[in-house]
Amino acid sequence: MMHRLERTFAGRRLVIETGRMAKQAAGSALVQFGDTMVLAAVTVSPKRSTLPFFPLTVEYREKTYAAGKIPGGFIKREGRPRDEEILSARIIDRSIRPLFPEGFQNEVQVFVSVISADQENDADMLGLLATSFALNASKIPFFGPIAGVRVGRVEGKWVLNPTFQALEFSDMDVVVAGTESSIMMVEGGALEVSEEDVLDGLKVAQKGIGELVALQEELLAKGRAEKMTWVKTEVPAEVTKAVTKAAKAKIEAAINQKDKHTRVEAVEAVKDTVKEEMASALAPEHVPFVGSVLGDLEYNALREQVLETGLRVDGRKPTEVRPISIDSSVLPRAHGSALFTRGQTQALVAATLGTANDVQRMDSIDDAKETTKSFMLHYNFPPFSTGEVRPVRGTSRREIGHGNLAERAIQGVLPAFEEFPYTIRIVSDVLESNGSSSMASVCGGSLACFDAGIPLKGAVAGVAMGLIKEGKKYAVLTDILGTEDHLGDMDFKVAGTKAGITSIQMDIKIQGLDLKIMSEALAQAKQGRLHILGEMDKALPTVRPDLSPWAPRIVTMTINPEKIGDLIGPKGKTIRGIQDETGAELTVDDSGLVTIAAVGGEAMERARQMVQAITAEPVVGETYLGTVKSVTAFGAFVEIMPGTEALLHVSEMRHHRVEKPEEIVKKGEQVTVKLIDRDERGRLRLSMKALLPKPEGAAETPAGGEPAEGGEGGEARGDRPRGDRPRGGRGGRGGRDRE
């Protein structure tokens, strides 16, 4: 049966509908906000999975027809999801995963499709809303409903679900997911805002989430499926008792090792020994439960130790950051590089400077036209970084997510493209990983930018926070280890400068987090971030004054937009000729801004002179060395600049009367002339006699009459349309560099 609810949310029409589309799925929902529409369909396997984790898959796909587009390239159908689609899928996954009941192991798939895009309203939070409703209306067990909103701040005012246009003026772009009373997930970036501002934004988000949850409850009251029956596998009490007695003390001792591999090996050795003992001590049907009990013992040992003693498995206190070491300029040919090591986490980060031709071009349903991206951070996580052997099958979703988090952290402090007209690419190769390699990438990326001479507004550092919570007792941990991430309740990453936060991401494994703990975690994260920034300042306190000798130098100049065609030339022949001759790289935009990039100052200067020569405009009163292009009965036409001809009238050749112009000038001859006039139609007049001394007592000879327009040889050359003769060419002088 179809049910529909329509309300106003954040000043726009919001529609939630179910029962009309995708009716064979376990649950489905259609959500419309403005003219953006998202369909979510959820399904569940009838059989319990044997995998050692909850098998949840979230797919998020944008249909190009949603924006009235056809996919670009040779293949005219949607293929591999774009990075933005993967990031949206990760947001939904991280928001809903903690709300499935513990022990539920049936495979669940969520498929979200963006089927209409108005290019004003983002679809990712609508996808989460549709997913929540579909799960709650289905037979799948789920502790919802939940919802998500995007929060922005424009001119000091908080905005819920801002449009794409409003986000351009916002100093925050944060998505928040949660229930009526608690927060489940946070992800976003900001322009160096304070911890207090972030908390205020979360409060605004919590109110909006409450409204959306209430709307779902209202529609769910009209009908929902009966939840499926499933049985949680219970461990027999005698197994728990026997394994605990044999292993508890040994595991508590084994986990307290500073080195990751030593700790893992010690814990695994205890588990293997106990499994062998239990194989003969327990009934055969009880042996499979031993591994589960051992896992619980390790989980509880770490948590109890932190809550009871305040000491972590590597001996640190909750607020303590691991030792940091930094090396810069480690790669001789990279434009900037840094090796950042914190404990057993290490990132080798390189910065590369490119030109405007190196920007990433993106075709999205959220934009009417193709957009470009001049800053990229790519994160690589090879298996050797954790000492593992596993197949490499392209860029993983985790790599895309971590790279995006680090990219956003640095993006907020980059100089404007107009001030530093380079395309910037940062690559972080994680060489060792034991907790928060994404935050190591932020630190290493900032240092690599400093090393490359990129004038950041300030150094950026990041730190990962953890949480151990049992009832009302809890402990917030700074700079968490991989073990603390795996066995803890929260992974809260905060990056920023000394002035404020630039990027934030939070995931939890418990069913919600209140703002009191969030506030404490933010304050503790600031202390950790400032400590790391202090260590970075010791290694590389300021941006290097000069770019790498291997980096391109870029200069910009402005030309008359009417001269763009002359610079490009027929089919790009002229601009390609400059590039081939000088080795420089040239780009020109519609406003007449010319960007010249070259490795080496001589090549750049030569290219700049050639551009000036082609695009310069003649100036009345200036003297030019021109080439006679044709001779007529009334004078000659002289090319004083590439593509620019002017009339040298017979009366301006000499102080005395000239009967035959060809006696004074000949076709192909170079002559020195002075530009004496430009009329209202742009026609140019030259003079030779203005450069000659006037004979004593000589009288000025009359010109002998003006030729009719278009006389011999057709219309006057100075009035010929620009397209009637070839444009471009090289040589000549003059022009203005309006840098």
> So where are the chain's domains?
3-220, 237-309, 324-539, 553-611, 623-724
Residues written for the chain: 739
What's the CA gap between 201 and 174, in Å, rounded? 8
With bands split at pLDDT 50, 70 and 90, how would you rate the model's confidence at 726? very low
What is residue 367's predicted lDDT score, i.e. its pLDDT? 84
- Give the least confident one: 58-72, 247-261, 696-710: 696-710
SS3 label, residue 113: strand
In the structure encoding, which two tokens stand for residue 385, read together?
A: 């970084």
What is residue 698's predicted lDDT score, i.e. its pLDDT? 56
Class of CATH domain 237-309: mainly alpha
With bands split at pLDDT 50, 70 and 90, how would you rate the model's confidence at 699? low
346 dihedral zone (left: phi>0; alpha: psi -120 to 50; beta): beta
Task: Answer whether residue 110 shows pLDDT above 90.
Answer: yes
Mean pLDDT score of the chain:
90
Q: What percent of the chain shows pLDDT beyond 90?
A: 71
Q: Which residues of 17-34 are buried (b: 16+ CB within 10 A; e: fewer)?
A: bbbeebeebbbbbbbbbb
Class of CATH domain 324-539: alpha beta
SS3 label, residue 22: coil
What is residue 715's predicted lDDT score, i.e. its pLDDT? 37
Domains 3-220 and 324-539 share a fold: yes
What's the CA gap between 698 and 516, in Å, rounded? 99
With bands split at pLDDT 50, 70 and 90, how would you rate the model's confidence at 719? very low
Alpha carbon distances (Å) from 572 to 211, 588, 629, 727: 57, 12, 24, 11
What is residue 722's predicted lDDT score, i.e. its pLDDT? 29
Quick one: how far is CA 419 from the chain centroid?
Answer: 19
With bands split at pLDDT 50, 70 and 90, how would you rate the model's confidence at 697? low
Superfamily (CATH) of domain 553-611: K Homology domain, type 1 (3.30.1370.10)
What is residue 600's predicted lDDT score, i.e. its pLDDT? 76
Q: How many helices and strands in the chain, by DSSP H and E?
A: 14, 29
What is residue 707's predicted lDDT score, i.e. its pLDDT? 41
Superfamily (CATH) of domain 3-220: GHMP Kinase, N-terminal domain (3.30.230.70)
CATH 3.30.360.10 assigned to 623-724? no
The structure's pTM equals 0.83
Cα angle: 269, vertex 274, 279; to 5 degrees: 130
Task: Answer whether residue 144 shows pLDDT above 90.
Answer: no
